[in-house]
Amino acid sequence: MKSPLLSLPGAVPAEAPDEGVAAHYGDLFREQRALADGSGFVDLSHRGVLSVSGPERLGWLHLLITQHVSELPPGQATEALILSAHGHIEHALYLVDDGETTWIHTEPGNQGPLLTYLESMKFFYRVEIADRTAELAVVHLPAGSIAEVPADTVVRETPQGRDLFLPRADLESFAAVTGPAVGILALEALRVEAHRPRLGLETDHRTIPHELGWIGTAVHLQKGCYRGQETVARVHNLGKPPRRLVFLHLDGSEVHLPPHGTPVRLAADGEEGRQLGFVTTSARHHELGPIALALVKRNVPVDAALLAGNTAAAQEVVVEP
């Protein structure tokens, strides 16, 4: 779904997985500084939006997801995962309940498979699930923003800022009075800086929550009765996830950023050494320079110098081995 804000001056379209919105509007670092200072907004209208209504919605969702939501207070934001039977991450959900409806946004294009799964699990519960992507656009306001939020807008507020579920028809008028528009690359750079994982980038078909530090933020360890719980409990008790997320400071002299999937090796072994992981997201940060997240084997020494492709990389621990 192509955003009308791509017609704004300087807008450069984003590439996968963020097609449909702007990568930037002409000045990446200025846009990053705006977000860091609490100004501007990010067009996330390419993200999928679902709603779950009905008197049993929270109790029903509680049985399916990794987060404790059976008594979720109105207005309190949370995030959750849906796992496979083997504990691998299949969906990431960002939720808020307004007292009558639970609102969810998810990765672009993921709303269809998520809706199909939720519909298959309704059984006799009094819940109604709807794809609201064509109707509602997600807009992000950074922490500290004093931008005015239109009346009756559903807001999901977190330490990182506020996600608005804005009527898609109001997107252009909102942009005209809020500004400046900030591209998705600026938000991604701040996400990498904050070590926050993203489905489809930090995950593959065998990723479990422990590898990415999603325990606590998206996985509640004091609840049960969800698919994949056995794996979560076993790995938590043993304390040995097979891989771990790391933050990389990349060599700033390199002209290009290593793309998603770039092999990570020990620097001592050179470019022909054994692959120990892969780059998940890389970004140019306005203060830190080139940075990245990577998923590496648990037994990679935490003080080892690494290579991301042919780019030297110093690691910081995100998930303890």
CATH number of the CATH domain containing 86: 3.30.70.1400
Domain, as residue range, for 31: 4-47+135-194
Query: Among candidates 7, 26, 1, 2, which has minimal Cα distance to 182?
Result: 26
* 101: exposed, middle or buried (Cβ count in 10 Å: 0-12, 13-18, 19+): middle
Indicate if 119 and 173 belong to the same structural domain: no
Examine residue 231 and state whether it is found in any structural domain, yes or no.
no
Res. 210 pLDDT band, cuts 50 70 90 = very high
Examine residue 220 and state whether it is found in any structural domain, yes or no.
no
Rg (CA), the chain: 20
Residue type, 282: S
Residue type, 31: E
Examine residue 199 and state whether it is found in any structural domain, yes or no.
no
Indicate if 9 and 155 belong to the same structural domain: yes
Res. 78 pLDDT band, cuts 50 70 90 = very high
Res. 39 pLDDT band, cuts 50 70 90 = very high
Mean pLDDT score of the chain, rounded to an integer?
96
Q: Which residues pair with 102 in a beta bridge?
A: 52, 97
Res. 224 pLDDT band, cuts 50 70 90 = confident
According to DSSP, residue 74 is labeled T
- Give pLDDT tens digits for 136-172: 999 999 999 999 999 999 999 999 999 999 999 999 9
Cα dist from 218 to 69, 209, 214, whole Å: 11, 8, 5
Taking the C-alpha atoms of residue 1 and residue 18, their distance in angstroms, rounded to an integer, is 10
* Whether residue 255 has pLDDT greater than 80: no
Res. 47 pLDDT band, cuts 50 70 90 = very high
- Looking up tokens 């934001």, which residue turns up? 77
Res. 256 pLDDT band, cuts 50 70 90 = confident
Examine residue 150 and state whether it is found in any structural domain, yes or no.
yes
Indicate if 35 and 57 belong to the same structural domain: no
* Whether residue 240 has pLDDT greater than 90: no
Indicate if 52 and 125 belong to the same structural domain: yes
Instruction: Count structural domains, the chain.
Output: 3
Of 78, 100, 131, which one is at a domain's C-terminal end? 131
Examine residue 124 and state whether it is found in any structural domain, yes or no.
yes
Examine residue 108 and state whether it is found in any structural domain, yes or no.
yes
Indicate if 283 and 178 belong to the same structural domain: no
Examine residue 261 and state whether it is found in any structural domain, yes or no.
yes
Q: What's the whole-model pTM score?
A: 0.95
Examine residue 119 and state whether it is found in any structural domain, yes or no.
yes
Of 89, 112, 131, which one is at a domain's C-terminal end? 131
Q: What is the pLDDT of residue 111?
A: 98
Indicate if 126 and 53 belong to the same structural domain: yes
State which H helix or E strand residue 42 sits in.
strand 41-44
Indicate if 183 and 286 belong to the same structural domain: no
